[in-house]
Amino acid sequence: MVIEPDHRSFNRVARALDEESGGDLWRAELATELHAVLEPGVSAVRGALMGMASGLDDGHEPLRQAVAGGVESTVRLDGKRAGARIRAKKTQLRGFANAPKRLNSRRGWRHPVHGADVWVTQQGQAGWFDDPLRRLRPRLRAAAVRTLDNRARRISRRA
- The pTM for the full model equals 0.74
pLDDT, tens digit, 9 for 90 and up, residues 14-42: 666 666 656 677 778 888 998 999 999 99
Distance of CA 84 to the CA centre of its chain: 6
Which residue stretches of 3-158 are H helix? Answer: 7-21, 24-50, 63-69, 99-103, 130-158
Q: What is the pLDDT of residues 45-91, one digit of tens each?
A: 999 988 876 665 555 667 888 888 889 999 887 777 778 889 998 87
**Residue boundaries of the structural domains of the chain:** 7-54+61-90+128-158
Residue 147 — pLDDT band, cuts 50, 70, 90?
A: confident
